[in-house]
Amino acid sequence: MQSDDLAWPPLAPPRITATEPASDAPGRDDDEVHDLWLGGVRIVGLDLERPELVDLRLEDCDLSGIIATGYVARRLAVRNTRLRSVMATGGQCDDLVLDGCQTEQVSFRFSRLRRVVFRNSRLTSIDFYGVHFDQVLIEGCDLSGAAFDNAVVDTLRIRDCDFTGITGAARLRGAEVDASDLPSLAPSLALDAGLRLRDA
């Protein structure tokens, strides 16, 4: 690891005025959520059209059944949180940290991710279809079954991750990947190259 990796990408943290987390979740009609710190909150069943989510911190929360289409998200920190059936599609996400999270049926389809970190999280079968990666770091994550089909890579660094069974491996062209991650990535790359694999 080079010294510049320690502060890469250069994230802007959430600007939170609260001194402690709140326990009241935003409602179904809250398409603009700003300056909010939530702790231990369960948020279920929101369908948001073109929401604006800015300066948010979520810790030890449970998010389920949330759809955000055409969203704008800036300066978010999501830690130790469970995300199930969360669909954030066709939007722009800047300065996001997702750390120590468990996901199930999560999608960022057709989104642009800029200055984003996924760290120490279970991201199995996460949907990155058509995602534009710009200064994104993924480290210490389980990416098994993830979809990278039609993704576009500007700057993407991946280290210490499990790539077992991903799709769209060839679309990771230009990404930086740890050599130690290649064994789990190689079968998907081989299939994308048209090779037929058989057991020895």
pLDDT at 25: 78
Q: For 133-162, write each residue's pLDDT tens digit.
A: 999 999 999 999 999 999 999 999 999 999
- Average pLDDT over the chain, rounded to whole? 93
Q: For 179-195, write each residue's pLDDT tens digit.
A: 999 999 999 999 888 88
- The stretch 7-18 carries a mean pLDDT of 94
pLDDT at 55: 97
The model's confidence at residue 5, banded by pLDDT at 50, 70 and 90, is: low
Percent of the chain with pLDDT over 70: 95
DSSP secondary structure, the chain, as one string? --GGGGG-S-PPPP----SS-B-PPP-TT--EEEEEEEES-EEEEEEEES-EEEEEEEES-EEEEEEEES-EEEEEEEES-EEEEEEEES-EEEEEEEES-EEEEEE-TT-EEEEEEEES-B-TT-B-TT-EEEEEEEES-B-TT-B-TT-EEEEEEEES-B-TT-B-GGGGTT-EE-GGGHHHHHHHHHHHTTPPP---
**132, pLDDT greater than 80:** yes
Percent of the chain with pLDDT over 90: 85
**2, pLDDT greater than 60:** no
pLDDT at 196: 83
pLDDT at 200: 62
- Provide the whole-model pTM: 0.93
pLDDT at 59: 97
